[in-house]
Amino acid sequence: MADLRSMEQLIQQVTTKALDATVGVIVGAAQGSGVVVSEDGLILTAGHVIGKPGREVTVILNDGSRVKGVTLGTDRSIDSGAIQITTPGKYKHLPVRSSSNLKDGEWVLVMGHAGGIVKDRRPALRLGRVLANSRDVIATDATLVGGDSGGPLLDIQGNVIGINSRIGNRITANLHVPSTQYLDNLDRLRNSEVWGRLGGTQPYLGVRCDTERQEVVVTRVTPGSPADQAGIQEGDQILRFNNREIDSFDNLKLMVNQYSPGDRISVRIRRSSGNVITLEVELTDRRQLDRE
């Protein structure tokens, strides 16, 4: 009983700080949750809550006041996302702890606007335990319902260790984006970069390269492919893919797989003549080509 009472007191202390930093977000017709992690108003949330960069956001603070924000970047493959509050001010926030050392069975807390944002109702707090922890996802038995998406997963000391992402098939098995993914990619999120492949798609560029050479030189362009339509030619050396340096054909394939069909990508190439130009390629789905 003494241990339970000690935990109760600790949770009560954490709750006050967590409530101050947990916010509601309205993006278009969609609602969700988020958590402020810096004094200048950086919010971590779920990728499916923000949709894409540059969208106007209404952020509802714990006291009911509303401030403005804008959506930033997202990694679609793991559902991470970020928002920047644009209304000047100093905002109450929570620290972010790396989730890499989370242990199965560790006690955790989740917060969010369960069921949607309701006037004069604070976010709900629920207690649970870690079921599994990996690089790309944390599973807990802490209950999630619609509206919780984007809210914080906290350790018992009140540090952000993840972001609520998906409701599991069972109410006792829910999924969260690990905080380590946000810490490792914070610059990309702040720079409004969009990356990561949507599930069930096969992004396709349509080139083959000489694997025997150190440079990434195109040896074949598939007719009708995105590369062909963009003007990439045999003999072109691919230098950068969406402003990221390419140093091998394997690296190029890995880069393509980080995006989704329909994404427009800038490709920096050096022609056999020595001229360096930038082309825009719209990736397609390999499965669509197979059907055709």
Q: Is the pLDDT of residue 290 over 60?
A: no
pLDDT of residue 199: 65
| Residue 289 · residue 275 · CB < 8 Å | no
CA atoms within 13 A on the CB side of 290: 7
Is the whole-model pTM more than 0.85?
no
Residue with tokens 């380590």: 180
**pLDDT tens digits along 125-173:** 889 999 989 888 899 999 888 888 999 999 999 999 999 998 766 666 7
**Dihedral sign (CA 46, 60, 160, 3):** negative
Pair of tokens at residue 76: 């679609």
Percent of the chain clearing pLDDT 70 (strictly above): 95
Closest CA to 227 of 280, 149, 277: 280
**pLDDT tens digits along 256-277:** 887 888 888 999 999 989 999 9
| Mean pLDDT for the chain overall | 89
pLDDT of residue 276: 95
Q: Is the pLDDT of residue 63 over 70?
A: yes
